[in-house]
Amino acid sequence: MNGIDLTVIWAGIIAFAVVVYVIMDGFDLGIGILFPNFKVGQDRDTAMNSIAPVWDGNETWLVLGGGGLLAAFPLAYAIILPALYAPLIAMLLGLVLRGVAFEFRWRDPAHRARWDFAFTAGSVIATFAQGVTLGALLQGITVEGRAYAGGWWEWLTPFSLLTGFALLAGYALLGCCWLIWKTEGPLQRQCYSYAGRLGILLLLAIAAVSIATPFLETEYYTRWLAYPGVIATAQIPLATLIISILFFRSLSKRQEAAPFFYALGLFGLSLVGLAVSMWPDVIPGRVTIWEAAAPYESQIFMLIGAGIMVPVILAYTAWAYWVFRGKVGSDGYH
Amino acid sequence: MIENDLAINLARVQFAFTVSFHFLFPAFTIGIASYLAVLEGLWLKTDKGVYANLYRYWLKIFAVVFAMGVVSGIVMSYQFGTNWSVFSDKAGPIIGPLMAYEVLTAFFLEAGFLGVMLFGINKVGRKLHFVATLAVAIGTFISAFWILSVNSWMQTPVGYAINDVGQFVPAAGWWDIVWNPSFPYRLVHTVLAAYLTTAFAVGAVGAWHLLKDRTNPGARKMFSMAMWMAALIAPAQIFMGDLHGLNTLEHQPAKVMAMEGHYESHPDGAPLILFGIPNSKEKRVDYAIEIPKASSLILKHDLNAPLAGLDTIPDQDEPPVGIVFWSFRIMVGLGFAMLGIGLWSLFARSRKKLYDWPWLHRAAIAMGPSGFIAVLAGWVTTEVGRQPFTIYGLLRTSESAAPLDAPAVAISLLAFVVVYFIVFGAGIVYIFKLAAKTPEAHEPTPDDAPIRSAGITPAAAVLEGDHEEGAAS
């Protein structure tokens, strides 16, 4: 019975890695999405400076999510990755393009505009692909035996495109709020003016995804809307409403840090919603976490490492953020 | 079925392409990270400006290489699943935890401290900054430790059982799995290779600037340090390579047969085939130049020891001999050329001509890329040599692939080729540009780059003192 407990713990750890990834890489991808709107020169440099010291660590959570899935739920990894082949490869190539842009744009001033474009294109592609991946997972995957059995376009549906656009709006909002927090002057004012519109866009996207989800599978419908469970699940849209109000209020009061955290709150609630829809399946309607789980010996071996290392990682990550605290200027941190 | 074969072959090409590109970067960053740690440590200890200048000089190059290593590495972490999903399902319970340990103990460490290393010196001070440099350098080691453990387990699998759904699951203790029979050899051989790669790259840059100005203190220091590494590590590497070869003979005999070009068994002493053209159809090496009994001497340390050949291996288990045979010779040839440069530098040093012997400098420049070529050739030898298996003797490559349609793999392969050549082509150009700049006593700040964002310039500000920092910001 030990194994069952560990499987739940591991599902929690993978979910944690995904949540931390979305929180941390979300805002720096968002800056890439918004980048063409910023003035060439000081504003762009400032925006880039605000994430240059931390983006690499942020992205490592994606590797932990993927690597952890392989380690703790190898069957899920083996089914999901081929099923989402096209969006995942697109995401990887997008991350390649934007990752090198951080360094290359400084190395080659003559072609800086090109690397700025690569930064934006890579960020947009990676974000959209991640959104599509979530949507495609939620709408279900064809499985036969221990393998994916669908074609290479199965992921492409109106729903997965919707989740792709939703994530674009969401990350853009996070990036926008991050810059409100970390900058001042014209760039900050520009971001204040975007934040409200992006907030409305994200709420519309959340509403659309939430309305569509219960109709994807009868299972989702009962989970969300059947009595008495609906009393619990209804708290999620209610909380979303409250946080939205707080978010817009903080914007109108010109608060600097608060909008970022309210935006994160909206993301957190969306992810809770995703968990309500999926739990305890790792591939909805097909494979549960227990069916996909690695054997006990693998799980316990990794749990020792994760138990020691994750707190250590969080500690030095926090330290690195602390080192670069405060407002960033175009000439670095003050 | 033909369709399926095509998809698998495309997946193999894709994996070979992405992993070959990727492997070049960590082979370089492992070495430069250690080099930077040594430079900064020496600077802390002696307070000599030349070390600080060299630190700044190589930190710029490190930042470019590291960025490329990170992004190509993220691709690798997903390639197992996208293209080799059956392998992932079957081997996941064993290799997954090892790779998760790599993420937890190495990737986060490198990424977490990289920001401080690149941008943080006037935030945290010299000592804490040195800690960050050390953390990044140690991270590159830990990463090599785990990924080579994974690779070695696939080559010499132990401590597993196969469960009722066909997965390899841990059966012995994890200690046995991590320290599988070929791992210690492979780890040391690879880390030494990374050091040699860096030594020859640094040595070539130093030599280039010495040819232009043999009094430049930065060029002299980097050339001297690189040549010490070459002289010390090249012989150690040849010794280590021999041990690794003996280990391979014990656990993967077919690979050694392919490396040596031994199609037939030799009951009383096998010749060493120096050169020739392996002919797998006729099962012989054409135009072979041989040294009688030398192969037995090298592999068994006995002139007359019998050696089995590929005729003892079933045809369907035979690795592609030609590729392995040649890549092995390229690696070994470069290894001995490295030893030659190392000895030459010792000789020049003893004559006090290390900085005044243009031919030595020209030779060092010519050998600049040798580490990268040798690393790739060695990688090809070991990876192609284990074919047709992904888990040696147990799981075939043809049975490891994902159930993908050929067009999907073809398109993604094309996309990888295009993006990699653009991105890494540009990166290599930038590295050459940085390396072509003379190492100066006052490493300049790029004119229009903000001080803490250009990757390196913060170090410049602090190392030069406060007046410079004021001027720059």
Task: Enumerate the residues of chain B whose CB falls inside 8 A of the CB of residue A323.
Answer: 115-116, 120, 123-124
Q: Rounded mean pLDDT of B227-256?
A: 91
Query: Which pLDDT score, from 0 to 100, does residue A333 have?
Result: 35
Contact: B452, A99; criterion CB under 8 Å: no
B208, pLDDT greater than 90 = yes
Q: What's the token pair of residue A44? A: 């762009």
Our CA dihedral for B168, B173, B176, B179, rounded to 10 degrees, sits at: 90
Q: What's the token pair of residue B146? A: 């785990």
Q: What's the token pair of residue A261? A: 């955290």
Given a contact cutoff of 8 angstroms between Cβ atoms, the answer to whether A91 and A133 are in contact is yes
Strands annotated E in B148-295: 160-162, 168-170, 272-279, 284-291
What whole-number distance in Å separates Cα of residue B389 and Cα of residue A131?
A: 36
B107 touches chain A (CB under 8 A): yes
B460, pLDDT greater than 60 = no
At a CB cut-off of 8 Å and minimum separation 6, what does A259 contact? A177, A180, A181, A195, A247, A250, A251
> What is the least distance, in Å, from the CA of A81 to any CA of chain B?
5
Given a contact cutoff of 8 angstroms between Cβ atoms, the answer to whether B40 and B54 are in contact is no
B473, pLDDT greater than 60 = no
Count residue pairs from A and B with Cβ separation < 8 A.
266
Contact: A57, B120; criterion CB under 8 Å: no
> What is the least distance, in Å, from the CA of A198 to any CA of chain B?
28
Residue of B96, B107, B423 with shortest CB distance to A96:
B423
- DSSP lists the bridge partners of residue A287 as A283
- B449 or A94: which carries more pLDDT confidence? A94
At a CB cut-off of 8 Å and minimum separation 6, what does B303 contact? B269, B293, B296, B297
Contact: B115, A306; criterion CB under 8 Å: no
Query: Which pLDDT score, from 0 to 100, does residue A269 have?
Result: 87
CB count within 10 Å of CB A184 equals 14
A79 touches chain B (CB under 8 A): yes
What whole-number distance in Å separates Cα of residue B241 and Cα of residue B176?
A: 23
Q: Which residue of B has its CA nearest to A41?
A: B448
**Residue B442's pLDDT band (cuts 50, 70, 90):** low
What whole-number distance in Å separates Cα of residue B360 and Cα of residue B411?
A: 47
Q: Helices (DSSP H) in chain A: which residue ranges?
A: 2-34, 42-49, 55-72, 74-83, 85-107, 112-139, 158-182, 185-212, 218-225, 229-233, 235-252, 258-278, 289-292, 296-323
Q: What's the token pair of residue A171? A: 């990350």
Task: Enumerate the residues of chain B whose CB falls inside 8 A of the CB of residue A106.
Answer: 446, 449, 453-455
**Residue B381's pLDDT band (cuts 50, 70, 90):** very high
Q: Which residue of B has its CA nearest to A102?
A: B67
Query: Which pLDDT score, from 0 to 100, does residue B413 have?
Result: 92
Instruction: Collapse the DSSP code of B69 into the 3-class scheme (helix H, G, I; strand E, B; otherwise coil) and give the result.
Output: helix
Given a contact cutoff of 8 angstroms between Cβ atoms, the answer to whether B90 and A75 are in contact is no
**pLDDT per residue over B283-294, tens digit each?**
888 888 888 888
pLDDT tens for each residue of chain A, 334 residues long: 444 588 888 888 988 898 899 988 999 999 999 989 888 888 888 888 888 888 888 889 998 888 888 888 998 888 888 889 999 999 999 999 999 998 888 888 888 889 999 999 999 999 999 999 998 888 888 888 888 888 888 888 888 999 999 999 999 999 999 999 988 888 888 888 999 999 999 999 988 888 888 788 777 877 777 777 787 787 888 888 898 899 889 888 888 888 899 999 988 888 888 888 888 888 887 888 888 888 888 888 999 988 999 999 998 888 888 888 877 865 543 2
Contact: B77, A316; criterion CB under 8 Å: no
Range name among A68-82, B3-17, B145-159 with the lowest pLDDT average:
B3-17
What whole-number distance in Å separates Cα of residue B427 and Cα of residue B366?
A: 21
| Per-residue CA distances from B459 to A42, B134, B195, B318 (Å) | 22, 16, 25, 54
Contact: A71, B92; criterion CB under 8 Å: yes
B3 touches chain A (CB under 8 A): no
At a CB cut-off of 8 Å and minimum separation 6, what does A218 contact? none
Query: Which pLDDT score, from 0 to 100, does residue B443 have?
Result: 53
Residue of A46, A149, A295 with shortest CB distance to B93:
A295
B469, pLDDT greater than 50 = no
Q: Rounded mean pLDDT of B450-455?
A: 41
Given a contact cutoff of 8 angstroms between Cβ atoms, the answer to whether B244 and B185 are in contact is yes
What whole-number distance in Å separates Cα of residue B199 and Cα of residue B201?
A: 6
**pLDDT per residue over B308-338, tens digit each?**
888 888 888 888 888 999 999 999 999 999 9
Q: Rounded mean pLDDT of B414-421?
A: 92
Chosen from A97, A298, A313 to mutate, greatest number of chain B CBs within 10 A: A298
Range name among A3-7, B57-61, B184-188 with the lowest pLDDT average:
A3-7
> What is the least distance, in Å, from the CA of A280 to any CA of chain B?
20
Given a contact cutoff of 8 angstroms between Cβ atoms, the answer to whether B472 and B445 are in contact is yes
A17 touches chain B (CB under 8 A): no
Q: Rounded mean pLDDT of B182-194?
A: 94
Q: What is the ipTM of this complex?
A: 0.87
Query: Which pLDDT score, from 0 to 100, does residue B293 have?
Result: 85
Query: Which pLDDT score, from 0 to 100, does residue A47 have?
Result: 85
Q: What's the token pair of residue B333? A: 């040839």
DSSP state, A242? Answer: H
Contact: A317, B112; criterion CB under 8 Å: yes
Query: Which pLDDT score, from 0 to 100, does residue B165 have?
Result: 87
A156 touches chain B (CB under 8 A): no
B386, pLDDT greater than 80 = yes
**Please, what is the average pLDDT of chain B?**
86
B37 touches chain A (CB under 8 A): no
**Residue B202's pLDDT band (cuts 50, 70, 90):** very high
What whole-number distance in Å separates Cα of residue A75 and Cα of residue A291?
A: 8
Q: Which residue of B has its CA nearest to A330?
A: B450
Query: Which pLDDT score, from 0 to 100, does residue B456 have?
Result: 38
Q: Rounded mean pLDDT of B364-384?
A: 93
B234, pLDDT greater than 60 = yes
What whole-number distance in Å separates Cα of residue A176 and Cα of residue A33?
A: 10
